[in-house]
């Protein structure tokens, strides 16, 4: 863990817990790994992974575009001055307002179903999303390229949809494929690229092939990049990629304090963060590394439980920890993606603050919500 105990303890003391913290050096390192591996490919950050404006500002300054999936995300990109070819609008159920905003900003729109041909603003610049109908190595909720997922067109629907888009006066750039998040096996990308390139004989040359993202933090990026470029070359196309999780996950930590312990059928380490601050363990069964900021002679097996009145509000199950005491600091790793972005005000709990470490000092980049903002001011 690159951040020191002293720096983490200082952040918790200054800003309170639960608290999300990010390391600017790791954000930069992850971006550079992607740009080095994929070379000439155009990189769009998948904003849903973490939409904090400070992080977005850094990516924008580095030349990245943004893939947006909501009106609010388009608004964030616009607030940073982005438009045109640096924006993509994606999603399976776009609203009229989202179409209108994309048209006003000149964003590329990803067509996700056949009927969108008649819903698009006139003269839209588009990509057509292909669902390769593969079984992929990730949680079902994270798999977007399976036959039963709600995303994309079947390969059989693609050629006709491309022709309909051209006939309707839209600018067809090419194809889009994204098979999911946190893909465990590189072979899944190989299979997906093969399904897409099989369309070459039916659709001809294209301007763009967008292969999405979904790479694990330890993925063989040069190997995946090579195959992605080969797939793009099959169409004579420029390669686009859309990393989200990869760029931010490893740069984020969640700081939480021990509230107490409980010994019933299991040993529970009770902490002040839970499903409202960090939903991934409950939603996906995700396991994240834990770093206890205390030392003790005895180590036991604990479930780390949050404060919500929900039996599923567990941040970890069956993990070894030094015997915890009230007030001690526990750090949860690899939470920079879909951590703060999925936090909620369920139970009228204030959403947590976020802070950025620049190598020398902390900067508060999102203040903690107040109880008035989470319910008391309604009506």
- Residue 69 predicted with pLDDT over 90: yes
Q: For 204-213, what is the mean pLDDT?
A: 94
Confidence tier at 139 by pLDDT (50, 70, 90): very low
In this predicted model, what pLDDT tens digit does every residue of 181-204 receive, in sequence order? Answer: 555 566 777 888 888 899 999 999
Candidate list 93, 297, 309, 377, residue with the active-site label: 309
CA–CA dist 34, 222 (Å, integer): 9
Burial of residue 343 (CB within 10 Å: 0-12, 13-18, 19+) is buried
pLDDT digits (tens, 9 = 90+) for 334-355: 999 999 999 999 999 999 999 9
269 is catalytic: no
> How many residues belong to the chain?
379
What pLDDT is attached to residue 180?
A: 60
User: What is the token pair recorded at 22?
Assistant: 């990010």
pLDDT of residue 147: 52
What confidence score (pLDDT) does residue 186 get? 65
- State pTM to two decimals: 0.92
Q: How many CB atoms lie within 10 A of CB 63?
A: 11
Token couple for 152:
């994309």
Q: In sequence order, what are the residues at sequence separation of 6 or more whose Cβ sits closer than 8 angstroms to the Cβ of residue 60?
A: 66, 80, 81, 82
* pLDDT at 376 (0 to 100): 60
The pLDDT confidence band at residue 145, using thresholds 50, 70 and 90, is: very low
Q: 273-317 pLDDT, tens per residue?
A: 999 999 999 998 889 999 999 998 889 999 999 999 999 999 999
Mean pLDDT of 58-76: 98
Token representation of residue 105: 């900003």
**Does 247 have pLDDT greater than 80?**
yes
């Amino acid at each position: 863990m690159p951040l020191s105990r002293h720096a983490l303890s200082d952040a918790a003391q200054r800003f309170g817990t639960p608290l999300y913290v990010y390391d600017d050096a790791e954000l930069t390192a992850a971006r550079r790994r992607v740009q080095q591996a994929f070379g000439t490919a155009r990189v769009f950050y998948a904003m849903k992974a973490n939409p904090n404006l400070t992080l977005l500002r850094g990516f924008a300054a580095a030349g990245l575009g943004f893939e947006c999936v909501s009106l609010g995300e388009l608004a964030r990109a616009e607030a940073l001055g982005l438009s045109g070819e640096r924006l993509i609008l994606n999603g399976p159920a776009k609203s009229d307002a989202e179409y209108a905003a994309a048209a006003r900003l000149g964003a590329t729109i990803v067509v996700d179903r056949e009927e969108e041909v008649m819903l698009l603003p006139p003269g839209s610049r588009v990509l057509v999303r292909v669902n390769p109908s593969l079984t992929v190595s990730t949680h079902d909720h994270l798999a977007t390229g399976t036959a039963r997922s709600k995303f994309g067109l079947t390969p059989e629907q693609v050629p006709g949809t491309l022709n309909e888009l051209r006939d309707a006066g839209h600018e067809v750039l090419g194809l889009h494929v994204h098979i999911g998040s946190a893909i465990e096996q590189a072979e899944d990308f190989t299979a997906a690229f093969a399904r897409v390139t099989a369309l070459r004989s039916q659709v001809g040359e294209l301007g763009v092939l967008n292969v999405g993202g979904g790479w694990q933090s330890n993925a063989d990026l040069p190997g995946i990049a090579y195959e992605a470029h080969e797939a793009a070359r099959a169409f004579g196309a420029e390669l686009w990629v859309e990393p989200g999780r990869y760029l931010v996950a490893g740069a984020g930590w969640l700081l939480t304090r021990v509230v107490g312990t409980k010994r019933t059928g299991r040993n529970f380490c009770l902490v002040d963060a839970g499903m409202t601050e960090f939903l991934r363990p409950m939603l996906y069964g995700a396991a994240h590394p834990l770093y206890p900021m205390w030392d003790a002679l005895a180590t036991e097996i604990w479930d780390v439980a949050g404060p919500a009145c929900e039996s599923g509000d567990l941040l970890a199950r069956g993990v070894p920890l030094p015997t915890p005491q009230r007030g001690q600091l526990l750090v949860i790793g690899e939470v920079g993606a879909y951590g703060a972005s999925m936090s909620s005000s369920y139970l009228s709990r204030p959403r947590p603050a976020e802070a950025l470490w620049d190598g020398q000092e902390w900067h508060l980049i999102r203040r903690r919500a107040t109880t008035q903002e989470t319910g008391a001011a309604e009506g």
